[in-house]
Amino acid sequence: MVLRTLDHIQYPTSSLSAADQARLDALGLPVVNGMLALGMERVVGQQFYVALTANPNAARALHGSPVADRRTDLDHQGGE
* Angle at 62 (CA atoms; ends 59, 65), nearest 5 degrees: 90
Cβ neighbourhood burial of 35 (10 Å; 0-12, 13-18, 19+): middle
Tell me the pLDDT tens digit for each residue of 18-41: 898 898 888 888 888 888 888 888
Q: What is the pTM of this model?
A: 0.55
The domain of 9 spans: 2-77
Cα 59–chain centre separation: 15
Tell me the pLDDT tens digit for each residue of 53-70: 898 888 888 887 554 444
- Does residue 4 contact residue 23 with C-beta atoms inside 8 Å? no
Domain count, the chain: 1
Residue 45: φ, ψ to 5°: -60, -40
